[in-house]
Amino acid sequence: MTSFGRHMLAHWALDPDTIYLNHGTVGAPPRRVLAAQQAIRDEIERQPARFLLRELSSTLVGRATTRVPRLRQAAAVVAEFVGARGADLVFVDNATAGMNAALRSVDLRPGDEIVVADHAYGAVAKVAGFIARERGAAVRTAALPWPPRPAAAVAAVVGAIGPRTRVAIVDHVTSESALVLPLAAIAAACRARGVAVLVDGAHAPGAIPVDIPALGVDWYSANLHKWAWSPRSCGVLWAAPERQTGLHAPVISWGLDQGFTAEFDWPGTRDPSPALAAPEGIAFMRELGVEAVQGYDHALAWQAGQVLTERWGTTLVQEESQIGTMVTVPLPARVGTTREDAARLRDALLFEERIEVQLHEFRGGLWVRVSAQVYNDLADVERLAEAVAARL
């Protein structure tokens, strides 16, 4: 089995003089994925009209062909990685774009409701609020207890469902709190009450095992440019077959009303190389061993939580099963409690200590979210522990 740690930085273009513990915020593709992307760009530039208008998607200029469009070939590889069919999966710029498209397809009427958990990603919460405002609907917030044990998380979402709730937005892995939620159980409880489930899976593919159809959800939007090692920007939107009619791309273009995949595959001229290079990231992970990569990242995240809380005199309350490849750890109150305090400390860590890590205000205190990737090791975590301890 391949050993992981800082020597793996040879496979990334990251600055070796900076400790990068922020892969969950802005992922970094391996060098070989960047090389594959550049080869695709070079191929496009040799015959741009032919590539983009005749080979990329089913929306063709010229005669029909029996060749499978290039985006469909790439989608088939990505879909297999998440247990799905290529026909049910399309590429989007990022998870937020997919969430926009899916939520806009819901037939919301005045007085209807959208349920959103209080751990939802900020941009996704804004999407829900905007669409509710447009349709005369309302947003109900499910307050997850802290720590939200699996059964309590299910109960919190169910408790927020009302008679006019039409859709629940649920994270697979929450953003700031970095919790793996019991998605299948939440989805089953929602659907038993006639509520559709839209999943924000931004942090899931590549980080934890994902089998989308087995989750029993209606839509699943995710990023590949975080834990699946694709170039930026690259996300996917999966929709159950019965949810694809009326689901339109965020940009309406020539594929309108030609079917789910045709509409999303051709939103107009743009750079398709991130999506076409996404299979290379999956291939590299498979060569290293998907289980080995995820196992290493998880073990390092779990160990990081224990090391940091012990060093800072705080408490890690999450269970190991609730942690994927990231862990969110509380900081002592004396380093600050506000968003401004978080920004100052985050900048100090980067510009003075050369440590890039997510740090934010949450539940009245400051928290650091460590992302564990195969190019990190425990020494990186210990550097972070000492850098913060020196400011206490």
Q: How does residue 363 score in pLDDT terms, banded at 50, 70 and 90?
A: confident
pLDDT for the residue numbered 267: 87
- Whole-angstrom distance, CA of residue 295 vs CA of residue 40: 32
- Assign a CATH topology to domain 47-283: Aspartate Aminotransferase; domain 2 (3.40.640)
What amino acid is encoded at 3 in this protein?
A: S
Is residue 261 helix, strand or coil? helix
Mean pLDDT of 131-148: 93
* Number of Cβ atoms within 10 Å of the Cβ of 107: 9
Q: Following CA atoms 291, 303, 224, 75 in sequence, which dihedral angle do they give, to the nearest 10 degrees?
A: 10
Query: How confident is the model over 8-63, as pLDDT tens digits?
Result: 999 999 999 999 999 999 999 999 999 999 999 999 999 999 999 989 998 766 56
CA distances in angstroms from 102 to 58, 199, 372, listed in the order given: 22, 10, 30
Does residue 1 carry a pLDDT above 50?
Answer: no
- What average pLDDT does the segment 379-387 reach? 97
DSSP letter (8 states) at residue 68: P
Between CA 352 and CA 252 the distance in angstroms is: 46
Predicted confidence (pLDDT) per residue in 201-221, tens digit: 999 999 999 999 999 999 999
More confident position, 253 or 297: 297
**For the domain 6-30+289-389, what is the CATH code?**
3.90.1150.10
Distance CA 246, CA 249 (A): 10
| Cα→Cα distances 209→214, 223, 285, 334, Å | 12, 14, 13, 38
Identity of the amino acid at 365: G
pTM over cut 0.85? yes
Q: What is the mean pLDDT of residues 138-143?
A: 96
Segments making up each domain of the chain, as ranges: 6-30+289-389, 47-283
The C-alpha atoms of residue 373 and residue 29 are separated, in whole angstroms, by 12
Q: Which two three-digit tokens encode residue 201?
A: 């899976």
